Chains A and B, each alone.
Chain A
Amino acid sequence: MIPRTPHARFVAAAAVVTSGALALAACSSTPETPSTDEATPSTINLLGPEDPATFAPLIEGFEAEHEGYSVEYTQVPFDQLNSTLQQRLGAEDSTIDLYTVDQPRVAQLAAQGYLVDLTDLAGEAQEVMSPTMYDVNVIDEQMWAASIWDSTQLMFYNVDALAAAGVEPPSSDPAERWTWEQTVAAAEQVQAAGETEWGLILEQIEYYYQLQPLMASLGGGSGITGEDALTADITNDAWVEAMTWYGDLFADGLAPRGVGSFETSPIFADGESAFFVGGPWDVGVFSESETNWAVAPMPYFDGGEQVTPTGSWSWGINPASQNQAAALLFLEYATLNPEGNLLSTQATTIIPANAEAAAEYLPQLEELAGDRSAGVADLITYELENTALARPLTVGYVQFEEVMNTAFADIRNGSDPAERLAEATTQLEDAWSQLR
């Protein structure tokens, strides 16, 4: 039901067909950008990981506006999405016209020749989207996909538990943003008072999307450096320090082990955690709970930089599609057209990438949970404009994310951060060797 949004769980990816077809696809010159003028009424095939209900209003809207067109949506579970895409795009499967792309993967898919060049839309996209939402799809001044959604992270807290434990709650004003140190102290106090079982839970508890800001806040960088963005830099002091802090969350009992990244929100919804750092989609999830909560900005390390995760899904067109013009028509409707973009967020709480749609959407989000969600809209707007930090642009992102997520999981379970990060460096070098 909830969008499995900007995360990656056991990211299955990149199993490459060792057939000549792939070599051909990759070597052929950049396909010409289609034009919507050439579109003729037809059926457009869309592939993605979301529940069909998510896209139903959007598809309905599109079909109403463009007579004769219809959209066939196929859902592939997120775990299999990337391997499915690799296989089917590699085999030049023309039954996919349009597909969803996890934004950090745009680079690899473009390099492989699996995306149609959309640079013709760049001017318009730049106008209607925030710079981050535009930039994630652009490599060397060529635009390869269009953003449909955006994301950020907020800190939810259990109002009643904090009050009962005598903890002064954080403000929703970014100017008074708490530090992690402050948050942990408060969380421990609530736990010690016996108000909640857990102190502080990060929603995607062992995924790079969620943890990148920890390292970045301490000045440790994204973990990727080098001219080709294929050199790991994950053993610097900031990384080790951030990961030590992260490991301690679990060692000290502030957060649970053995609970998956998508099983954490019920803990907060049940009133069993003092603080919870999660996405805008949780506003929808928590609005249905009994817990009395409020939001505050995501914390940062004392003396460090204030950064928040961002990024979500884009849409791209398959070069092997025989129906690219019509696919483009739908892509424009879903991303550049504010009406269409807004419809894509009707069934789930997620931020529209289109600025006009977002402006209309955020107040609705603000009202979703009554008093509890007060301040959500302003906070999201502020974070997106000021603190959003996109994931690194690299052709090796798929491997990077997988190796890092496994390392995070081990550190969560008590591995020594410095040693484990050194091991991950070796694993990355090994995995990236096939990309050079």
Chain B
Amino acid sequence: MTTTIAGRTRKVRRGYGRVALAFLAPAIVVLVLVRLVPAASALYGSLTRSSLLTGQTRFVGWENYAELLGNPDFRGAVGVTVLFTLIINPLQVAIAFALAVLFTRRLAGVRWWRSLVILPIAVPPAVSAVVWNVIYRPDDGLANAVLSVLGLPPQPFLTSPDQALAAVIVLLSWVGVGYWMLFLIAGINDVPGELYEAAALDGAGPWRKFFHITLPMCRRPLAFVLVADTVSNLLVFAPVQMLTGGGPEGATNLLMYDIYTRAYTLGDLGRAQAEVVVLVLLTVVIVAAQFRMLRGDSEGA
């Protein structure tokens, strides 16, 4: 792939455009193959409709989008996704931040306890789904066994429309909180120690130190984590596909899973592609915000 680079570069004296192109070529090829082609194909597919029987494809313009807007399953999925996003992201970031504050204190064995919280980040999503499925089994699972020791009544968890989404949030947070905490610990460690010393001289208590120093100084990492967390949670799929199938009563039918069933179970590729386009646009907006933050940081550094 790159054998000719050295030879060719000697000829190029001014500007390194062609050398750079050679170095960038493999990445650009991959980029085109796995990002741009599918994005274009989704966009085109979203404007067409095929008959499952004859296989004939016709151009329908915005019809798929219009139909999606009126589709109860899609609307349900959007509602669930919005609710899920509004709950899980602030929750995970708040817990991760609280734990980051806790684990940056000088406490006995704090490094050890901190690493226990970090351990689950190695668990692949599909594996955590399998594990929590056994934990959540209503009749003989671990969670209800723990509740019964505490004297609490058994819960239906994933089999109840009221609890399934919360159960999914818990299993995702088991993995997610430790990961995001790493970023926030780094942020807290970057706060200059003099600030706390000065505050201590002024007689500030721990709460004042937190609200007047830690929190404002960590605004950047907090914002980054919130954005990155939001993107990753928009794409939650494994636990839904493996544990709830979007149910009960669509209570966990997140957008990714709705796309999957529409494309592969109902065979409605046109509308599934329209949904993909919606999802991609949504993530692009959020990712652009994240990128601005990254760049802003890099230029500041």
Contact = CB atoms under 8 A, between A and B. Distances in A.
Direct A–B contact present (CB less than 8 angstroms): yes
A15 B267 contact: yes
Contacts of B246: 406
Interface string A148-185: 00000000000000000000000000000000000000
A434 B49 contact: yes
B139 A23 contact: no
A14 B249 contact: no
Contact of B138 (A14, A23, A86, A256): A256
Contacts of A22: 50, 55
A14 B52 contact: yes
B73 A410 contact: no
Contacts of A23: 54-57
Given A23-B55, A90-B55, A413 B267 contact: no
A13 B264 contact: yes
Nearest to A12: B264
Given A18-B50, A111-B53, A399 B266 contact: yes
Contact of A14 (B139, B158, B266): B266
A398 B267 contact: yes
Given A23-B54, A112-B52, A410 B247 contact: yes
Given A10-B265, A13-B265, A409 B49 contact: no
A301 B248 CA distance: 28
Contacts of B263: 15
Interface string A5-38: 0000011111110100011011100000000000
Interface in B51-83: 51-57, 71-73
Contacts of A18: 45, 48, 50, 57, 269-270
B114 interface: no
Contacts of B270: 18
Interface residues of B, number: 40
Interface in B122-152: 136-139, 141
A52 interface: no
B69 to A, nearest CB: 13
B120 interface: no
A15 B263 CA distance: 6
A423 B267 contact: no
A329 interface: no
Q: What class of interface size applies to chain A in its complex with B?
A: 35 or more
A390 B125 CA distance: 39
A395 interface: yes
Nearest to B261: A402
A414 interface: yes
Contacts of A83: 264
Interface in A389-436: 395, 398-399, 402, 406, 409-410, 413-415, 420, 423, 426-427, 430-431, 434-436
Contact of B248 (A11, A90, A410, A427): A410
A436 B263 CA distance: 18
A108 interface: yes
Nearest to B244: A409
Q: Give the secondary structure class of A's interface.
A: helix
Contacts of B233: none
A259 interface: yes
A303 interface: no
A406 B159 contact: no
Contacts of A66: none
Contacts of A434: 49-52, 267-268
Interface string B259-301: 0010111111110000000000000000000000000000000
Contacts of A430: 71, 73
A409 B73 contact: no
B187 interface: no
B156 interface: yes
B55 A25 contact: yes
Most chain B beta-carbon neighbours within 10 Å: one of A11, A257, A258, A426: A258
B256 to A, nearest CB: 15
A111 B52 CA distance: 9
Contacts of A26: 53-56
B179 interface: no
B48 A258 contact: no
A402 B160 CA distance: 20
B157 interface: yes
A215 B56 CA distance: 36
Given A406-B247, A410-B249, A258 B267 contact: no
Contact of B265 (A25, A395, A402): A402
Nearest to A402: B265
Most chain A beta-carbon neighbours within 10 Å: one of B159, B160, B246: B159
Interface in B217-249: 241, 245-249
A420 to B, nearest CB: 8
A259 B52 contact: no
A395 B53 contact: yes
Given A23-B57, A413-B248, A11 B159 contact: no
Contacts of B54: 23, 26-27
Contacts of A15: 263-264, 267, 269
Contacts of A90: 55
Closest 10 CB pairs of A and B: A14-B267, A22-B55, A413-B248, A257-B159, A258-B138, A26-B55, A23-B55, A258-B159, A402-B265, A431-B266
8 contacts: A15-B267, A26-B53, A257-B156, A399-B267, A406-B247, A413-B248, A414-B160, A427-B73
Interface of A: 10-16, 18, 22-23, 25-27, 83, 86, 90, 108, 111-112, 197, 256-259, 395, 398-399, 402, 406, 409-410, 413-415, 420, 423, 426-427, 430-431, 434-436
Interface of B: 45, 48-57, 71-73, 136-139, 141, 156-161, 241, 245-249, 261, 263-270
Given A11-B265, A23-B56, 14 more contacts: A14-B264, A18-B48, A18-B57, A26-B56, A27-B55, A83-B264, A112-B52, A256-B138, A257-B159, A258-B141, A409-B245, A414-B160, A430-B71, A431-B268
